[in-house]
Structure 1
Amino acid sequence: MTAARQTRDFVEAGLAHHRAGRGDKAEAAYKRALAKDGKDAAALHLLGLIAADKGRHGRALQLIDKALALAPDNADFLHSAGHVLGLAGRTGDAVARYLAALAEAPDRPLTLSNLGNALKRLGRANDAARHLARAVAIDPGFAEGWSNLGLVHKQLGAFGEAQDAFAHAIALRPDDPDFRYNLANAALDLGEIKAAIAGFRKTLALNPAHGGARMNLATALKLGGDVAAATAEIETALAALPDSHPDRAELHWNLGLNLLLAGDWARGWEAFEWRRKMPGYGAGAIAAPEWTGGSLEGRRLLVNHEQGMGDAFQFMGFADDLARRGAHVIYRGPKAMGPIIGRMTGVAQTIAFEDTVPEIDAWAPMMSLPRALGLFDAAALARGATLAPDPSCRAPYGARLMAAPGLKVGICWQGNPGYQADAGRSIPLAAFEALARIPGVTLIALQKGAGGEQVAGWPADLPLIDLGAEIDGAGGAFMETAAVVAALDLVVTSDTALVHLAGALGTEAHLALARVPDWRWGLEGEQSVWYPTVTLHRQTRPGDWDGVFRRISRVIERRRAAHG
């Protein structure tokens, strides 16, 4: 037998072991082949794949590069190099190798799919979609290709196209739990709650340990209004996870949100603390003892800002409780928020995140204050007006406000579009037209940033004074807005910081809420737990803003009649 034949036999034996999952035996066979012929490109390539399987990416690339030195135009070798570079986190280099492979063999679905995945990781979703669409056009039976195409469509926000691609994948492989999970997520993205619930349950029937499906089933159940069932799913997921599992923090946090939404304040605040263990929690810790309750007499307490601007108005409303316990309260947060938070009752001092922390006795995360204060029932959470506006900040707008006829109603419709649940809470400006059609009412637009562009489409015959583009241009965030809101008759808003500002000012406000709102508004009732002057107007069915605004219109008609 010739040496060349022996080399081929060893390579073929190695391949047989490799395909059967016997990596160690495959490795031995490839090494025997290379002992016969150290320049056998196939053996070098395959031994590189074995190294990649063992996580030895550097060694894998060395071997595959040696194979490519012998056969630089080999599409298989180029593809494998791209695959290992991707595993090593060198995504840009992986793209270059995949493109080189396609230059030699343009119609390889797996290479097109891998290239698409790499481009997706680089944020080039449109390019990724183009290559993945070509992969499944070449091989319509390529289930993973369809699934990968769906994931790219999802990244692009094309949820209908994502749903179609996932359906193709499932038609080819109906018992794949990950394909079912992806399809259920697409349904959730499209607001098809019943289909999403059914999809997540099918996923769990195929793989009961699928943590993502359990968590997202809880989300879908909650959006469908069944908070008790959602809570039960989270508790089931937690019972199945070891204490060290990285998903426990998010599950506990979601459990806390559900408990708070249901009004279980004691258990809710406890579980809500898990937010601080989640990746990306940005508030951090302070080099001082954390205050979790107890005496504050004569102590300097720093309260560290968390999350959004509305959260600051809501939770710094408890500064007065702290001050009445004897604390010197220092708010630490975004620099722009310092002036307005400094006007809240009980706040003695404000500093910016970038400032040096002064001498303090203790600190507390802002959103942990109710727990530390022991506020475990709805009655204990209510606060009256806790913010005094600066009247001088109204001066640039006073004349226009005085000249506006009738009932003056401030409006805001759009939250932060980057917030995960914003699609359910923000409202089209067009929904507010019903209010503007009430005789004797003038709307004052206070929308800033995203959503402000909708004013361009407002009907010319309906009264609207748009202050959003110019307000708060100087002096700190919300300073001018607060002065204007305090001078209005009432406010109508979506779930944004404006409702918290109005509540803190003690201004009458009407909050338009989704069928299942954010945790702080509860599941039923018209009275806000937090603010006596805020009335809650809930959707009776998902997406029905018209019904909400009919009810708000009736309230404003009565107010206008009383106003004269």
Structure 2
Amino acid sequence: MPNSFRLLAQDILALGEAGDIPSALEKLHEGIQTLPQDPHSTFLAGCLYERFRDWPQARSFYLQSLHMNVHAPRIWHRLGIVCLEAGDLDGAERALKVAIQQKPSEAPYYIDLSLVQARRGLFDDALENAVTGDALFPDHVPAINNIAHALQCLGRSEESLPYYDRAIALAPENGVCRFGRAVSLLKTGNFDAGWREYEWRWRCCQTPRTDLTVPQWEGEDLSGKTILVHHEQGYGDTLQFIRFVPLLKARGATVVVQVPIPLVRLLERVEGIDQIVSVLDPALHLDLHCPMVGLPFRLKMTPSTAPGCPYLSVPAEEQIREGGALRQSLTENMAQPDLIVGLVWNGDPRAHDPVATQVDRRRSVPLEKLAPLMEVDGIRFVSFQLGMPKNQIAETGLPVTDVTDGIIDFADTAARLYGVDLLISVDTSIVHLAGGLGLPVWMISRSDACWRWGETATTTSWYPSMRIFRQPRSGDWETPVAEIAGMLR
């Protein structure tokens, strides 16, 4: 074993570069046993653990180093990055602010702080720090991209586009910038360019499938061809874009659709689907494939030209059995309410994806924030909320009845929605379900709204039965809730 930890670190990095991560980590763990207790060695150990994405160990050694030398902006910076990667946004912001305080001339500190603040929904602060970083380090792509992203999240997508263009001119193959530009184009209604740029998601935030050997469909003739259309992203995306499948059938294709099991029973009733599966049979003959969200680009569709609603359906007998039973259960032995309203206040946290987790935190509203709705007379509120957030009903004591017992998939939820007069929900899959069924839905949108809802509109061509209530700023649920309460009265 090399005598100095620095030489040992070189061996460890060489093993890592060769792809032998287990041996690199084993050698690192051994070397730590004789690690010199000085700030440089502990910092180097932290860097090695960060290199191998062991965030707790990296954080521990950075803190040890700072304990011996608190005036070390570079170490505070690395601590901030590790906290960011571990999902500790508060810790990341604190560490990066210390780094800036100790060395205010370092552009990367501001740039990384702006990223952390954007994740937290502090978009004004994120913009300010990104602008400072850009001034200190002109033509640095991450700074320019952070400016564009902050503007986009502030509902200023038109202003963001020149910054995205500037970043892309410097780095044409940067998938993050290209995808960000796609979102701004879509939010401003430029769907022709937006759909094309949205294909960069495969170079940014999504992993292409590697199990398919047939070519991807790019809009060519489908006559006599069998095409696989497959789920990507979340349930809501598939519920929104399944409407395009009948257009493939009309072009002469045999259409196979692959979606997760919770969607199968509902979507098997969609017109134009010849076969729907959750697991693909390797023996199934296919000529082409297409990711679900790629359909409107290849079909040259916009919200105003897309197939209308309803395109999802529930058999009449299930509407009566599930929806009717729900309504009857709420009116037995009590006065008939003027309105029965369904509620959903949380999305899917997607714990495996830190970025998606932060988006979910911004789009989800604590049930207690909906309390003003309960003050409106003549309304019975029922919950379609799934998962742990449904526990908030008992925790808050609010008069909300859980009606999710026995729901196993989207077909069950769809049938039960016929038992309510209105659904009020945050931006999650059930709004697409209600909208696709043509049922009334009021959506509470976070301030940095998803691209599909634009930036200011209260209605959408995607779902004519939907009304949108928007946060004026991140964290402000009081404003849209008060607006909804006023509409209910």
TM-score band by shorter chain is: 0.7 to 0.9
8 Å CA contact 1:177–1:206 kept in 2: the answer is: yes
TM-score, scaled to structure 2: 0.88
Secondary structure at the residue paired with 1:266?
helix
Secondary structure at the residue paired with 1:503?
helix
Aligned amino acid, residue 153 of structure 1: C
8 Å CA contact 1:310–1:496 kept in 2: the answer is: yes
Please, which of 384, 408, 425 is the counterpart of residue 309 of structure 2?
384
Secondary structure at the residue paired with 1:250?
helix
Which residue is 2:238 aligned to? 312
Q: 1:118 to 1:453 in 2, by over 3 A?
A: farther
Please, which of 371, 380, 398 is the counterpart of residue 297 of structure 2?
371
Alpha-carbon distance between aligned partners in 1 of 2:274 and 2:459, rounded to the nearest angstrom = 30
TM-score, scaled to structure 1: 0.77
Alpha-carbon distance between aligned partners in 2 of 1:349 and 1:395, rounded to the nearest angstrom = 27
Which residue is 1:101 aligned to? 34
Which residue is 1:228 aligned to? 158
2:457 aligned with 1:525? yes
Q: 1:388 to 1:290 in 2, by over 3 A?
A: same
Deviations 1:407-462 (A, max 9, x none): 22111111121325222211111222222332221222111125233233132xx4
> Relative contact order (C-alpha < 8 Å, sep 6+): which is higher?
2
How far apart are residue 306 of structure 1 and its match? 1.4
Which residue is 1:411 aligned to? 343
Aligned amino acid, residue 99 of structure 2: A
Secondary structure at the residue paired with 2:132?
helix
Q: 1:355 to 1:450 in 2, by over 3 A?
A: farther
Which residue is 2:423 aligned to? 491
Q: 1:81 to 1:294 in 2, by over 3 A?
A: closer
8 Å CA contact 2:229–2:255 kept in 1: the answer is: yes
Which residue is 2:45 aligned to? 115
Alpha-carbon distance between aligned partners in 2 of 1:161 and 1:361, rounded to the nearest angstrom = 51
2:135 aligned with 1:205? yes
8 Å CA contact 1:425–1:514 kept in 2: the answer is: yes
Alpha-carbon distance between aligned partners in 1 of 2:25 and 2:140, rounded to the nearest angstrom = 31
Deviations 1:331-379 (A, max 9, x none): 1222332222112233232022442363344432211211222224x42
2:139 aligned with 1:195? no
Secondary structure at the residue paired with 2:290?
strand
Please, which of 126, 134, 150 is the counterpart of residue 64 of structure 2?
134
Which residue is 2:385 aligned to? 447
Alpha-carbon distance between aligned partners in 2 of 1:328 and 1:233, rounded to the nearest angstrom = 43
Secondary structure at the residue paired with 1:487?
coil
How far apart are residue 297 of structure 1 and its match? 4.9
Deviations 1:145-168 (A, max 9, x none): 211222233334443332232233
Alpha-carbon distance between aligned partners in 2 of 1:84 and 1:180, rounded to the nearest angstrom = 33
Alpha-carbon distance between aligned partners in 2 of 1:193 and 1:279, rounded to the nearest angstrom = 21
Deviations 1:457-502 (A, max 9, x none): 132xx4322134x3433xxx31210110133211010000000000
Secondary structure at the residue paired with 1:112?
helix
Which residue is 1:273 aligned to? 199
Alpha-carbon distance between aligned partners in 1 of 2:39 and 2:104, rounded to the nearest angstrom = 21
Which residue is 2:189 aligned to? 263
Aligned amino acid, residue 463 of structure 1: P
8 Å CA contact 2:393–2:400 kept in 1: the answer is: no
Aligned length in residues? 470
Please, which of 99, 102, 115 is the counterpart of residue 185 of structure 1?
115
2:68 aligned with 1:143? no
Which residue is 2:353 aligned to? none
Which residue is 2:466 aligned to? 534
Deviations 1:281-312 (A, max 9, x none): 24457444543336545543321221111111
Identify the range of structure 1 (502-511 vs 443-452) with the bigger mean alpha-carbon deviation: 443-452
Q: 1:227 to 1:357 in 2, by over 3 A?
A: farther
Alpha-carbon distance between aligned partners in 1 of 2:139 and 2:374, rounded to the nearest angstrom = 53
Aligned amino acid, residue 220 of structure 1: A
Q: 1:250 to 1:180 in 2, by over 3 A?
A: closer
Which residue is 1:44 aligned to? none
Q: 1:262 to 1:448 in 2, by over 3 A?
A: same
Alpha-carbon distance between aligned partners in 1 of 2:141 and 2:283, rounded to the nearest angstrom = 41
Which residue is 2:407 aligned to? 472
Secondary structure at the residue paired with 1:530?
coil
Alpha-carbon distance between aligned partners in 1 of 2:120 and 2:150, rounded to the nearest angstrom = 12
8 Å CA contact 1:471–1:481 kept in 2: the answer is: no
Identical pairs, percent: 26
8 Å CA contact 1:413–1:447 kept in 2: the answer is: yes
Alpha-carbon distance between aligned partners in 1 of 2:106 and 2:52, rounded to the nearest angstrom = 27
How far apart are residue 79 of structure 1 and its match? 4.0
How far apart are residue 211 of structure 1 and its match? 2.2
Identify the range of structure 1 (400-409 vs 92-101) with the bigger mean alpha-carbon deviation: 92-101
How far apart are residue 520 of structure 1 and its match? 0.3
Max radius of gyration: which structure?
1
2:104 aligned with 1:174? yes
Alpha-carbon distance between aligned partners in 2 of 1:544 and 1:447, rounded to the nearest angstrom = 21
Deviations 1:19-55 (A, max 9, x none): xxxxxxxxxxxxxxxxxxxxxxxxxxxxxxxxxxxxx
Alpha-carbon distance between aligned partners in 2 of 1:402 and 1:285, rounded to the nearest angstrom = 48
Q: Which runs of 5+ in 1 are unaligned?
A: 1-64, 69-76, 558-564
Q: 1:306 to 1:286 in 2, by over 3 A?
A: same
Alpha-carbon distance between aligned partners in 1 of 2:109 and 2:437, rounded to the nearest angstrom = 50
Q: 1:285 to 1:219 in 2, by over 3 A?
A: farther
Alpha-carbon distance between aligned partners in 2 of 1:97 and 1:204, rounded to the nearest angstrom = 42
8 Å CA contact 1:82–1:94 kept in 2: the answer is: no
Q: Which runs of 5+ in 2 are unaligned?
A: 332-336, 351-355
Deviations 1:133-186 (A, max 9, x none): 221121122222211222233334443332232233233333222222222223
How far apart are residue 508 of structure 1 and its match? 0.4
Q: 1:217 to 1:164 in 2, by over 3 A?
A: same
Alpha-carbon distance between aligned partners in 2 of 1:225 and 1:145, rounded to the nearest angstrom = 35
Please, which of 343, 368, 375 is the counterpart of residue 269 of structure 2?
343
Q: 1:235 to 1:485 in 2, by over 3 A?
A: same
Alpha-carbon distance between aligned partners in 2 of 1:279 and 1:536, rounded to the nearest angstrom = 27
Identify the range of structure 1 (252-261 vs 269-278) with the bigger mean alpha-carbon deviation: 269-278
Alpha-carbon distance between aligned partners in 2 of 1:455 and 1:483, rounded to the nearest angstrom = 23
